[in-house]
Amino acid sequence: MKIRNTHRRHLTATADEVDTLLGGLGSDTDALWPRHLWFPMRLDRPVAAGAKGGHGPVRYQCTARARGCVFFEFVSILGSSRWHGEHRFVVRPRSYGSVLVHELELEVPLWQYVQWVLVVGPLHDAVLEDLLDRAEGVATARWSLWVRLLRRALPAVRAERRVNP
């Protein structure tokens, strides 16, 4: 089964400024990832082709990094390698700023699709909206009731401790 998921945010920041944020993904100085709320994104080296890492139970490898874009291929999700696909961040310049887009494409068996619909997808959507809030520099939006219940039932998805954003 195919899963496609897209998040986008119009930003007043220039494409170059947003690209600088992308360049820090997975580092100790990552200003984009909402590590104050979720598992931090960690990469074994600066974001570039070959960098490996992930966040919590989601593992991936960077397959490409160019100005305005970063591509990752999934290695496993929730300990299973049956999740085949990629996700990417792309910055599109606009005359009034830029648009930051996150696109995810997966091909999964039925059981992983059910996991996506019930657990992974809602949490993914919340993480991405928090990330886009950080890119925009606004306060984090309130999560849906379902995401709040999932975070309570699955404490492992939360950041180990709160840190200053």
pLDDT band for position 12 (cuts 50, 70, 90): confident
Residue range 154-164: average pLDDT? 69
pLDDT at residue 140 in the model? 44
Q: What is the pLDDT of residues 45-62, one digit of tens each?
A: 999 999 999 999 999 999
CB environment 28-59: b (16+ within 10 A), e (fewer): eebebbbbebbbbbbbeeebeeebebbbbebb
Residue range 112-134: average pLDDT? 96
Measured distance CA(62)–CA(55) in Å, rounded: 13
pLDDT at residue 161 in the model? 56
pLDDT at residue 37 in the model? 93
What are the residue ranges spanned by the domains of the chain?
Answer: 2-157
Measured distance CA(1)–CA(83) in Å, rounded: 10
pTM: 0.85
pLDDT at residue 139 in the model? 41
Nearest Cα residue to 27 out of 48, 38, 41: 41
Given a cut of 50, is residue 6 above it in pLDDT?
A: yes
Residue range 151-163: average pLDDT? 75
Nearest Cα residue to 165 out of 36, 14, 7, 1: 36
Nearest Cα residue to 128 out of 32, 43, 41, 7: 7
Measured distance CA(129)–CA(85) in Å, rounded: 21
The architecture that CATH gives domain 2-157 is 2-Layer Sandwich (3.30)
Q: What is the pLDDT of residues 136-151, one digit of tens each?
A: 885 445 678 898 899 8
Question: What tokens does 157 get?
Answer: 């998805």
Q: What is the 3-state secondary structure (H, E, C) of 80-91?
A: ECCCEEEEEEEE
Do residues 19 and 32 make contact, with C-beta atoms less than 8 angstroms apart?
no
**Which range has the worst mean pLDDT, 12-16, 95-99, 136-140?**
136-140
